[in-house]
Amino acid sequence: MAEASPFESALAKLSRAAVQWEHPLRGCTNDEIVQLERLFDSSLPETYRAFRSALGKSSGEFLRGSDFLLKHLSRDLKRGAQEMLEDEGEPQLPPHAFVFLMHQGYQFFYFHCGVDPDPPVYYFREREGTRKVAESFTQWFATMVDDELAAQ
């Protein structure tokens, strides 16, 4: 039997915790993910597609208060991120940057599409600027799962 990937291990840990939550994890369909790619004119990375397939519509208690579910993803999210950068005098996002999560209107996460199936993740927070926070989306996801479950 093949060993689970780090992404699969983090998802399994999250799924076990979600059994106790009022709202279950609910993923996007492949068609919904394709529509998302069309909306943003981008080919989404493999690991992010897997993330959307697992919890694109409902994430239970995971990342509660953050805008990242399918219903939140629109061009407005990236526009809001661009405005934050502009307000802080930071360079604008590259054309193929995909803002996948915004929290409370003062911080966001993004990666670059079309380069890597498991791209590095970058984080911006007002008054702190932009920095790379994970070498891969998988690493970011696994860290977030551990941090969120430890806080519960």
Query: Strand, helix or coil at 79?
Result: helix
Look up the CATH number of the domain holding residue 141: 3.40.1580.10
Domain annotation covers residue 14: no
Q: How many domains does the chain have?
A: 1
Q: Tell which residue, 104, 96, 146, 151, has the closest CA to residue 124.
A: 104
Domain annotation covers residue 4: no
Domain annotation covers residue 98: yes
Domain of 107, in residue numbers: 23-151
Domain annotation covers residue 112: yes
Domain annotation covers residue 18: no
Query: For the chain, what percent of residues have pLDDT higher than 90?
Result: 77
pLDDT at residue 2 greater than cutoff 70 = no
Domain annotation covers residue 79: yes
| Residue recorded with tokens 């076990």 | 16
Domain annotation covers residue 32: yes
pLDDT digits (tens, 9 = 90+) for 32-56: 999 999 999 989 999 999 999 999 9
C-alpha distances in angstroms, 62 versus 48, 147, 152?
16, 10, 10
Q: Which two tokens stand for residue 102?
A: 């915004």
* pTM of structure: 0.92
Parallel, antiparallel, or unpaired: how do β-strands 121-125 and 107-112 relate? antiparallel
Q: Cα separation of 55 and 60, whole Å?
A: 9
